[in-house]
Copies of this chain bind each other. A is one copy, B any other.
Amino acid sequence: MLPFTLTILGCSSATPTSERNPTAQLLSHGEKLFLIDCGEGTQVSLRRLHIHFQRIRHIFISHLHGDHFYGLIGLISSMHLLGRTKPLHIYGPPILKEIIDLQLRASLTTLLYPLEFHTTQAERLEVIFEDEHISVSSFPLLHRIPTTGFLFLEKPYERKMRKDVLELLKIPVHLIPKLRAGEDYIAPDGTVHLNSDITIVPPAPRSYAFCSDTAYFEEIIPVIQGASLLYHETTFMNNREANATEKFHSTTGQAATIAVKAGVKKLLIGHYSARYDDLQPLLEEARAVFPETELTIDGITFEI
Contact = CB atoms under 8 A, between A and B. Distances in A.
**In the complex, which range does the number of interface residues on chain A fall in?**
35 or more
A144 interface: yes
Contacts of A15: 43, 77-78, 81-82
Question: What is the total number of copies of this protein in its complex?
Answer: 2
Contacts of A21: 44
Interface string A104-129: 01111000000000000000000000
Contacts of A73: 66, 70
Interface in A238-289: none
A18 B96 CA distance: 27
Contacts of A144: 108
Contacts of A105: 95
A71 interface: yes
A78 B22 CA distance: 11
A149 interface: no
A93 B103 CA distance: 12
A107 B145 contact: yes
